[in-house]
Structure 1
Amino acid sequence: MTSVATLPARDPAARRPRPRSYLMCRPEHFEVTYAINPWMDTSDPVDRALALAQWDALRAAYEAHGHSVEVIEPVAGLPDMVFAANGGLVIGEKALSARFANPEREKEGPAYHEWMAGRGFAEVMAARETNEGEGDFAIAGDRILAGTGFRSARGAHEEVAEYFGMPVVSLDLVDPRFYHLDTALMVLDDTIAYYPAAFSGPSARLLAQMYPDAIIATDADAEVLGLNGVCDGYHVFLTDKATALAEQLRARGYEPIGIDLSELLKSGGSVKCCTLELHRVRTAAGSGTD
């Protein structure tokens, strides 16, 4: 399941944004009433009005840059449903809904499955193996990078590879602060940005081999979830607190778009966590997925 082929470098001057389709969930019921990761502190109150305003700003930024946003109805009692990336994985006309690791979030899986089933995809399946969607699965060209160690079982990597017919590269996460792959790695256009210390030694070395030109995040940027971002091929939507990472992205020909999601960070999520991409399969001269 592991491939070490490198992607061809792209001329930074040739970077162009491509319209994307995203699924989001408004944080109408957002709160921190339990702690299932090191970011969550039940004694630190949440300003829900501010969380809603910050989420609205993220959605507006996507739409202002030409992307379409669909919104799933939030469910009372599921405060982390705002983190739509965890709801599943959608590639072309196939969708796989998540099977959450923690009982506090397990009802989110059926909620996202119901949305997928009602949208008209050719095939929708509920995961058998524990996985938390794009939280631990990142589409990178013709392959999928997959995290394990905290929330998604290694068996889920095999399930995803079989279901979508794409090679999956397994990566071990070792730092509980970076409990999902999307907290420690961001797919860009022809490369990635990542934080090596979040991975086991073998996984970090594998990433270095696969992506020798990757952007390496600083400790400070990783610790504000700077890698929890979304790239459209040119624009990179990420927390406005990851200043060094923004400078690195700009030097590589990307345009960073800073977003303040400080309230949602109280539950361990940022831009990517709020965004499930509905990947379209490329056709004709293209290959892989957007």
Structure 2
Amino acid sequence: MKIPPNLRVCVFAEQALNSTPKDEELEPSWFRNLAWYFFEQWFSKHGYECVGDLDIAFEGAGDALWGGAGNRTLFTGVGPRTDVRALRDLTERLDDGSSWKALGCRLVDPRFYHIDTAFCPLNEELAIYYPYAFDHITQHNMHNETDLLAVSDKEARNFACNAVVVGRNVVMHHQNDEIANKLEKLGFSVKFVDMSEFIKSGGSAKCCTLAI
């Protein structure tokens, strides 16, 4: 399946199954929904069921990250891009009878528009995050679900949290030495990549990926 070259939003693979954005400055809804059409076709062809309400703004894996004990908590960013109504929609549509839950995490700093720009689960017990991207209640609730290692403002703005985790390997944009050193001391292996061109679009390593 060939995707038309003008659908530049497709480079943000993590948002493959999103819906109409709340921010009018983003791609028009018809444009993004056209991209969604091509993603939906690919997933359906490969045996995946695509669900969701296109009337509820939900920015895919950019605003939904599994973490916590047993990876049973879906940390869901709400605010700038994703509508709080998505929490109920996700819970109902993904209900499999198990004990997982969707935890709403309110983003309050406009620089951090998706949860994955300010939060990155490393395993079931630990995540890195930029605390001031979230309101105080959210910070408290996140602490109840997982241990959190804070990232500095400078490195948060350098997309340190927009990282890809594969086992004990953490792939992130370069020049995030402070958090990288902390992670190395905890037994993680940090791999730096130069994402400077992609960052101009407002994302980094994690934005280019979608775990399936």
Name the TM-score, length of structure 2 as normaliser.
Answer: 0.87
Q: Which has the larger radius of gyration?
A: 1
Superposed displacement of residue 149, structure 1: 0.4
Could you tell me whether the CA contact under 8 Å between 1:113 and 1:126 is conserved in 2?
A: no
Superposed displacement of residue 158, structure 1: 1.2
Give the alignment of 1:84-163 within 5 angstroms. 84-88=13-17, 98-101=18-21, 102=26, 103=28, 105-121=32-48, 123-128=49-54, 129-140=56-67, 141-163=71-93
- Which secondary structure state, in structure 2, belongs to the residue aligned with residue 114 of structure 1? helix
Measured on the aligned residues, the alpha-carbon RMSD in Å equals 1.6
Superposed displacement of residue 126, structure 1: 4.2
Q: Distance in 1 between matches of 2:14 and 2:2?
A: 15
The letter for the 1-side match of 2:157 is: E
Superposed displacement of residue 74, structure 1: 4.1
Partner in structure 1 of residue 112 of structure 2: 178
How many residues of Structure 1 are paired with residues of Structure 2 in the alignment?
196
Residue 134 (structure 2) pairs with residue 199 (structure 1): yes
Q: Distance in 2 between matches of 1:177 and 1:237?
A: 21
Q: Distance in 2 between matches of 1:139 and 1:256?
A: 20
Query: Which stretch of the first structure deviates more once superposed, 174-183 or 161-170?
Result: 161-170
Residue 11 (structure 2) pairs with residue 76 (structure 1): no
Could you tell me whether the CA contact under 8 Å between 2:163 and 2:206 is conserved in 1?
A: yes
Superposed displacement of residue 80, structure 1: 2.4
- Which secondary structure state, in structure 2, belongs to the residue aligned with residue 177 of structure 1? coil
Structure 2 unaligned segments of length 5 or more: list them: none
Superposed displacement of residue 226, structure 1: 0.7
The letter for the 2-side match of 1:87 is: A
The letter for the 2-side match of 1:119 is: H
The structure showing larger relative contact order (alpha-carbon pairs under 8 Å, at least 6 residues apart) is: 1
Q: Distance in 2 between matches of 1:232 and 1:164?
A: 24
- Which secondary structure state, in structure 2, belongs to the residue aligned with residue 146 of structure 1? strand
Could you tell me whether the CA contact under 8 Å between 2:173 and 2:192 is conserved in 1?
A: yes
Residue 128 (structure 2) pairs with residue 230 (structure 1): no
The letter for the 2-side match of 1:124 is: C
Superposed displacement of residue 253, structure 1: 1.1
Name the TM-score, length of structure 1 as normaliser.
Answer: 0.64
Structure with bigger helix share is 2
Q: Distance in 2 between matches of 1:270 and 1:136?
A: 14
- Large movers: runs of 4+ above 4 Å: none
TM-superposition CA deviations, 1:181-200 (whole Å, max 9, x none): 01010011121110000001
Residues 246/179 of structure 1: CA separation in 2 closer, same or farther (3 Å cut): same
Query: Which stretch of the first structure deviates more once superposed, 161-170 or 102-111?
Result: 102-111
TM-superposition CA deviations, 1:230-269 (whole Å, max 9, x none): 1122101111121111111111111111111110100101
The letter for the 1-side match of 2:135 is: S
Q: Percent identity?
A: 30
Could you tell me whether the CA contact under 8 Å between 2:162 and 2:172 is conserved in 1?
A: yes
Partner in structure 2 of residue 209 of structure 1: 144
